[in-house]
Amino acid sequence: MSDKKYITIALPKGRLQEQIADYLKNVNITIKEESRKLDCYDHVNGYRFLFVKNSDVPVYVNYGVADLGVSGSDVIYEGDFEFLTLLTLPFGSTRICVAGYEKDRDLYFNTVNKSIYSKDLRIATKFTRFSRDFFLSKGVAATLIKLTGSVELAPILGLADYIIDLVETGTTLKENNLTVIDEIGRTEVRIIANRSLYKLNYKKIDDFISKVKSLSKE
């Protein structure tokens, strides 16, 4: 059993980080981000928090830099690493949707649900692994175009017929004259662990998980 002093937890920078910090305050866990610093310590509880790019959380956990990570299931899936899934947080759940112009709705459903082939669907997305598996499961030929930001531009500029993206309120879609065509999944925020590091520090990690779990009814 390890006697290491701090459990290292990778957090995604941005809005989710703020939500997590607010949430953990309720069990007296402090995440205090100082300007430009890449990490912070909660010396009282023995936690070190790393602030990393959302899509990098699984990488830091996989390679053992962090014992734990907080990440969206979409990001974990795209990362294609295997982790222990210790807890699902009761916030941050979002829809994964196919969106496009209203005029293209029939083409999509004819192809996906009725197997009426007119042409290969062209889809722009950040979530290529998820999208590939979705269309493979439907037996549909789709050309996937990987984008890393502003996916909504793809139909407007003629790069793709549809996009697959996370949709919360749909406002951004609306502003770009796009609409949700199909909801094909939901993401959730999970606490993941590196298997070996968990096994070496399971008491401290389980203690952290118990504290977080006490906040929800899960």
Task: Report in angstroms how near the CB of residue 80 gets to other proteins at its nearest.
Answer: 4
Strand partners, 49: 9, 40
Tokens representing residue 93 in the block = 């759940």
Helix (H) or strand (E) holding 48: strand 47-52
Question: Shortest Cβ distance from residue 121 to other proteins (Å)?
Answer: 24
Q: Which stretch binds other proteins (CB under 8 A): 9-17, 108-116, 135-143, 188-196?
A: 188-196
Distance of alpha carbon 182 from alpha carbon 159, whole angstroms: 20
Q: Tokens 């590939």 label which residue? A: 132
Task: Identify the residue among 197, 204, 208, 212 touching other proteins (CB under 8 A).
Answer: 197
Q: According to CB under 8 A, which one of 13, 180, 200, 211 is a site residue for other proteins?
A: 200
Question: Interface mask (CB under 8 A) for other proteins, residues 47-86, using x and -?
Answer: ---------------xxx--------------xxxxxxxx
d(CA 174, CA 215): 35
Please choose, out of 23-31, 45-53, 115-123, 187-195, the segment that lies near other proteins by the rule CB under 8 A: 187-195
Bridge partners of 98? 164, 182
Considering only residues 42, 108, 194, 208, which one is a binding residue for other proteins as defined by CB under 8 A? Answer: 194
Residue closer to other proteins, measured from CB, 23 or 162: 23
For other proteins, the binding residues (CB under 8 A) are 1-2, 62-64, 79-88, 193-200, 202, 206, 218
